[in-house]
């Protein structure tokens, strides 16, 4: 079977964003930020206060860090040596789901079960030491309302998490209670932060010319240093970091795949931007496009962004690898020309995603600059899509150049790998020093 050419072209055009359109999206994003700064209820983004500004880079001491933001939980012991130097002394990582064994993110699981699992990991990290005092920074990467550096109340689960008894609760309280149940009252959570904020702190600890931190992975979100917000409860310098929760940005037009996916998702109407750009969803959009081409609309092939990256990377003459993945997931053997088209669709979805993310960065750069010149800066980004997805980083760079023109020379994106752990340790240090 050969795909219908018209239908294929139409799908590609659905995922294509022109420079002009990108300019409009950047402008709409900036306007949404400005509305939110005036009155947060006017913005589609939550623009959450973090109660931290930038670190001095001189923070020192040993801290525990918990990185809780996806299906893989990580706990760390990190020593900060000042001058941007640090060492990860110990690290343990464990998934929240092992199919057939346990699943702590489903509707059937409870907050207690989930946080007991994390407390058990911390027990292992500190080797059962229930006497020495440990301060812990907690990177909790879900939209949470804070009124100080400790208190983050989960507003709503994202990334298809559904564990009961966490929405509306203070994440650190649930953690502290689980630690106490296990006999570790000596482990004290002192700071909570979003992963974007952690990435920004981590990058700024090493390089002060960094004002924007972003996660481009399973989920997507960005934070930035807002100079106009000062608060006596806030730690650090330069203003306050705002977690935009821009995964919820809505003021851009979804295509028919975006709409159809959203309708069938755990939380329809929410996280519309994230559903267009992040790793968790790109595979879904890709599967929907293929289903349309093969006349199986509505069928879910469980294609992931990792499948997409392998399909895009397969440049062999007979597309052996791509063909095998498609045969396994879609359940049919595709002709060579059809695989070429499927690769183009995968690429178009990734390129759109990268361009939209770049437009949001430009909006923040414009907003920070106001009427002044754009400052030289690095944008810190962490996450598997940024790091590993072919075409992602290159298309961010080219879209930045399209939108910023000559000023593009002043801006680059840098990978801050592991920032979620280091940033949590830095936040803990800022809170207790
Ligand atoms: C969450 C954000 C988080 C992002 C990246 C989103 O789903 O709402 O809080 O920063 O994922 O992990």
Tell me, what CATH number does 69's domain have?
3.30.420.40
Instruction: Report the pLDDT value the prediction gives residue 240, as an integer from 0 to 100.
Output: 98
pLDDT at 1 over 80: no
**Does position 355 have pLDDT exceeding 90, yes or no?**
yes
Host domain of residue 139: 49-206+418-432
**Is 320 within a domain?**
no
User: Which atom of ligand 1 is closest in space to residue 223's alpha carbon?
Assistant: 10
Confidence class for position 393, pLDDT limits 50, 70, 90 = very high
Q: Is residue 90 part of a domain?
A: yes
Cα 19 to middle of ligand 1, angstroms = 27
Q: For residue 58, is it within any domain?
A: yes
What the block records as the tokens of 114 is 């989930």
Query: pLDDT at position 70, please?
Result: 87
* pLDDT over threshold 80, residue 90: yes
Tokens for 101, please give them.
């064994």
Mean pLDDT of the region 368-386: 97
Q: Domain for residue 87, yes or no?
A: yes
Per-residue confidence (pLDDT) for residue 374, from 0 to 100: 98
**Residue 333 in this model has a pLDDT that exceeds 90:** yes
For residue 74, what pLDDT is reported?
97
Given pLDDT bands bounded at 50, 70 and 90, which one contains residue 304?
Answer: very high
pLDDT for the residue numbered 401: 98
The mean per-residue pLDDT over the stretch 312-333 comes to 98
Residue 65 forms part of a structural domain? yes
Q: Residues 208-230: what's their mean pLDDT?
A: 96
Rounded to the nearest angstrom, the distance between the alpha carbon of 265 and the centre of ligand 1 is: 16
Please provide the average confidence, as pLDDT, over all residues in the chain: 97
Q: Is 169 inside any structural domain?
A: yes
73 falls in which pLDDT band (50, 70, 90)? very high
At residue 160, the pLDDT reads 84
| Residue 143 alpha carbon to ligand 1 centre in Å | 7
Note the pTM of the prediction, 2 decimals.
0.95
Pocket (CB within 6 angstroms of ligand 1): 69, 141-143, 158-159, 194-196, 215, 219-221, 245, 247, 274
In a domain, 426, yes or no: yes
Percent residues over pLDDT 70 in the chain: 100
What separation in Å is there between the alpha carbon of 235 and the centre of ligand 1? 22
Q: What local confidence, expressed as pLDDT, does residue 418 receive?
A: 87
Atom 9 (ligand 1) nearest CA: 142
What's the mean pLDDT in 26-31?
98
**In this predicted structure, what is the pLDDT of residue 71?**
87
State the pLDDT at residue 76: 98
Mean pLDDT of 342-366: 98
pLDDT for the residue 126? 98
Residue 144 covered by a domain: yes
Q: How many domains does the chain have?
A: 1
């Amino acid at each position: 079977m050969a795909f219908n050419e018209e239908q294929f072209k139409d799908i590609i055009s659905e995922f294509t964003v022109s420079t002009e359109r990108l300019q409009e999206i950047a402008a709409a994003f900036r306007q949404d930020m400005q509305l939110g700064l005036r009155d947060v209820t006017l913005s589609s983004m939550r623009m959450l206060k973090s109660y931290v500004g930038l670190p001095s880079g001189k923070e020192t001491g040993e801290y525990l860090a918990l990185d809780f933001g996806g299906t893989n939980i990580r706990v760390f012991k990190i020593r900060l040596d000042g001058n941007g130097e640090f060492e990860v002394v110990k690290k343990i990582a464990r998934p929240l789901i092992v199919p057939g064994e346990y699943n702590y993110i489903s509707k059937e699981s409870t907050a207690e079960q989930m946080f007991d699992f994390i407390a058990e990991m911390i027990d292992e990290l500190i080797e059962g030491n229930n006497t020495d005092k440990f301060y812990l920074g907690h990177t909790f990467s879900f939209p949470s309302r804070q009124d100080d550096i400790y208190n983050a109340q989960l507003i709503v689960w994202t990334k298809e998490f559904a564990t009961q008894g966490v929405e509306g609760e203070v994440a650190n309280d649930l953690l502290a209670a689980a630690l106490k149940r296990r006999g570790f009252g000596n482990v004290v959570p002192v700071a909570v932060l979003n992963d974007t904020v952690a990435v920004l702190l981590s990058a700024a600890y090493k390089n002060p010319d960094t004002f924007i931190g972003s996660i481009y992975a399973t989920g997507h979100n960005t934070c930035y240093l807002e100079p106009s917000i000062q608060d006596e409860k806030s730690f650090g310098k330069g203003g306050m970091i705002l977690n935009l929760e821009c995964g919820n940005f809505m003021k851009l037009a979804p295509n028919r795949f975006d709409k159809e996916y959203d309708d069938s998702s755990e939380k329809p109407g929410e996280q519309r931007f994230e559903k267009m750009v992040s790793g968790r969803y790109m595979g879904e959009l890709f599967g929907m496009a293929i289903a349309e081409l093969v006349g199986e609309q509505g069928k879910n092939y469980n294609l992931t962004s990792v499948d997409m990256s392998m399909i895009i990377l397969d440049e062999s003459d007979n597309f052996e690898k791509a063909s095998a993945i498609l045969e396994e997931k879609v359940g049919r053997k595709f002709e060579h020309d059809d695989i070429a088209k499927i690769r183009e669709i995968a690429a178009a979805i990734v390129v759109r995603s990268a361009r939209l993310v770049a437009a949001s960065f430009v909006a923040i750069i414009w907003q920070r600059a106001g009427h002044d010149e754009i400052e030289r800066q690095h944008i810190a980004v962490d996450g598997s899509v940024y790091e590993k997805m072919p075409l992602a980083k290159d298309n961010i760079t080219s879209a930045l150049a399209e939108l910023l023109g000559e000023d593009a020379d002043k801006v680059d994106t840098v990978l801050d790998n592991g920032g979620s752990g280091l940033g949590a340790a830095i936040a803990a240090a800022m809170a207790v020093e």
